[in-house]
Amino acid sequence: MSLSELAVDDLRCIERAELLLHPGQNLIWGGNGSGKTSLLESIFLLGRGRSFRTRNSERLIRYGKDRLVVFGRSTGPGGATGWGSARSHNTPQHAGPVEGFGGDGIDRGAGFQVPVAESGAASNVSEETRSAEVRDGTSLSYPRDPLALSHALGVQVSRADGTMARIDGTAAASLTELTQIFPVQIIDPGVHKLVEEGGHRRRRWMDWAVFHVEHQFGEWWVRYTRALKQRNAALRTQPSQAGVWDGELVRLGELIAQARRRFVEGLLPYWRDSVVALSGLEPELHYFRGWAQDVSLADALAASRPRDEEKRMTHPGPHRADVVIRINGRPAREVLSRGQQKLVAVAMTLAQLNLLQEATQTTSTLLLDDPAAELDGDHLRRFIEQVMRLKSQLVLTSLHPESLLFGTPDRVFHVEQGSVQSV
């Protein structure tokens, strides 16, 4: 899967930009503050419904504007894709990214997103029977087929209405539909935070991949999050009623934990290959499910009940899960330099993408923001070799137009003061 067209309105410093992207390598170059990373944010927004730089999507809206809109067209295996294939340089043709956005709000949580109907928008049609009208007048049954030749994607972030998404002209039931239609991953100068910071980043990293491998995972996570919110609300107002939600939490929590465990176990061979090839280090990667390994979630909730009532929140459960990285028994963030942390985090990301390719034949678009930052010659060479093995669509940024890190780019764009030109 790759992105063939991109149109951006009022995102950060970009007033308007239109790009035709190549399924191979795309280079975006320009000076500091020109808008290179903002273009990567817009692509990431199409696949995730959020930015990789901030949790507050309103910060993406250009100063003085009320909303931003990003439009794109994803192309599947049967379309004009394939490493090194060619496209003509024409202006993207679309009905306009602003068209069709109404008042359908989408509640964006820290993990998987709650469907539109849960956030207050009316919806009387079940997900199994809903149909979607494609822009060219054809239709396909819902859920949408991620292997279809092409999908039109649109995301709007409004100061008044929050984030809304449309796929093939109709409102998305949840932002997870974007993830299914257009899988995208990022390696940026802040990738070391995957090792350095708390478990929320590693949970998000893990769950993005689990969603593609375990098809029911998104539904489990949405329902678990809903039950968790209800239990926490009861702990704040009527603690005696909190136990009503324990059965639902246990059933879904165990399913979520098992799916994550299967992913981590499947990842380990790819992880070992990537981390050794990139860094020469041999860190250990372990899955912590969010409660003690030797007890059930039901027992963990029962034992934690006094603490939960005192703190008015639920402690054990998959919402506290983590992927623990250690070097000789010590936390990696305490032992490794920032450069080493970056190599380990990059290895985690590349291993994840390799696993997805093998398990699901899913080829993700990979965004690389200043990929040479903080890597010396030898480590950079190893990094390039690992990335090239993926055969993914690449969109990378550079300060220089002559960047040949991954060979001659198939398409080059120059960004200056928010204005984008194809070179």
- Report helix, strand and coil shares of the chain as percent, to nearest 5: 40, 25, 40
C-alpha 71/C-alpha 6 separation (Å) is 6
Which pLDDT value is given to residue 376? Answer: 80
pLDDT digits (tens, 9 = 90+) for 380-407: 899 999 999 988 999 999 998 888 888 8
Which pLDDT value is given to residue 141? Answer: 28
Query: Would the pLDDT of 95 be above 50?
Result: no
Average pLDDT of the residues in 242-246: 95
Q: What is the mean pLDDT of the chain?
A: 83
Residue 148's pLDDT band (boundaries 50, 70, 90)? low
| Pairing label, strands 170-171, 162-167 | antiparallel
| CB 422 within 8 Å of CB 401 | no
| CB 106 within 8 Å of CB 57 | no
Helices (H), 149-189: 176-181
List all residues 6 or more positions away from 291 whose beta carbon is below 8 Å from its beta carbon: 297, 300, 316, 317, 320
Kindly report the CATH number that applies to the domain delimited by 195-333. 1.20.1050.90
C-alpha 212/C-alpha 209 separation (Å) is 5
Query: Would the pLDDT of 118 be above 50?
Result: no
Kindly report the CATH number that applies to the domain delimited by 2-183+398-422. 3.40.50.300
Average pLDDT of the residues in 321-330: 94
Which pLDDT value is given to residue 195? Answer: 95
Q: What is the dihedral of CA 49, 54, 57, 63, to 10 degrees?
A: -140
Using CA atoms, how far residue 238 sits from 230, 233, 242, 244, 312, in Å, is 11, 8, 7, 11, 10
List all residues 6 or more positions away from 294 whose beta carbon is below 8 Å from its beta carbon: none
Query: Would the pLDDT of 89 be above 80?
Result: no
Using CA atoms, how far residue 306 sits from 240, 253, 300, 320, in Å, is 11, 20, 11, 18
| CB 4 within 8 Å of CB 79 | yes
Query: Would the pLDDT of 8 be above 90?
Result: yes
Residue 173's pLDDT band (boundaries 50, 70, 90)? confident
Taken in order 272, 278, 284, 286, the sign of the CA dihedral is negative
List all residues 6 or more positions away from 366 whose beta carbon is below 8 Å from its beta carbon: 184, 185, 186, 187, 353, 387, 390, 392, 393, 394, 395
**Closest among 146, 59, 156, 143 to 104, alpha carbons compared:** 156
Average pLDDT of the residues in 215-223: 92
Average pLDDT of the residues in 46-55: 92
Query: Would the pLDDT of 335 be above 80?
Result: yes
Which pLDDT value is given to residue 145? Answer: 52
More confident residue, 375 or 184: 184
Domain coordinates in residue numbering, the chain: 2-183+398-422, 195-333
